[in-house]
Structure 1
Amino acid sequence: MSQEAMDSYDEFLELEMEDMDTLDGELLPDQDMLDRKLYFRELLRLQAELVKLQDWVQATKEKVVIVFEGRDSAGKGGVIKRITQRLNPRVVRVAALPAPNDRERTQWYFQRYVSHLPAGGEIVLFDRSWYNRAGVEHVMGFCTDEEYEEFFRSVPEFERMLVRSGIRLLKYWFSITDEEQHARFMSRIHDPLKQWKLSPMDLQSRVRWERYTHAKEAMLERTHIPEAPWWVVQAVDKKKARLNCISHILDSMPYQEVEREEVVLPERTRHPDYVRHPIPDSMYVPERY
Structure 2
Amino acid sequence: MRETSVNISDLSGFTADNTPVTLSGSLFFRVTNSYDACFRVSQFQQNIRNIGTSAMRSVVGHFSYDEVIGDRNKINQRLHDVIGSSIEKWGVECTKFEIQTFKPSNRDVERQLELQMEAERNRRKQILDTQAAVNVAEGNKQRAILESEGELQSQLNHAEGTKRRLILESEGQLESGSNDAKAIARQIHLVASALSSNPSDQERSLALQALLEFKRLDQLRAIANGKGNNTYFFGDAKGTGRDAYEVDNVEKWKRTLRQEQKMGATVAAATPTSPTPTQLPGA
TM bracket, shorter-chain basis? under 0.3
- Give the structure with the larger helix fraction: 2
Instruction: Compute the TM-score of the two structures, normalised by the length of structure 2.
Output: 0.18
Instruction: Compute the TM-score of the two structures, normalised by the length of structure 1.
Output: 0.17
Query: Greater CA radius of gyration, 1 or 2?
Result: 2
Q: Which has the higher contact order (CA 8 A, sep 6+)?
A: 1
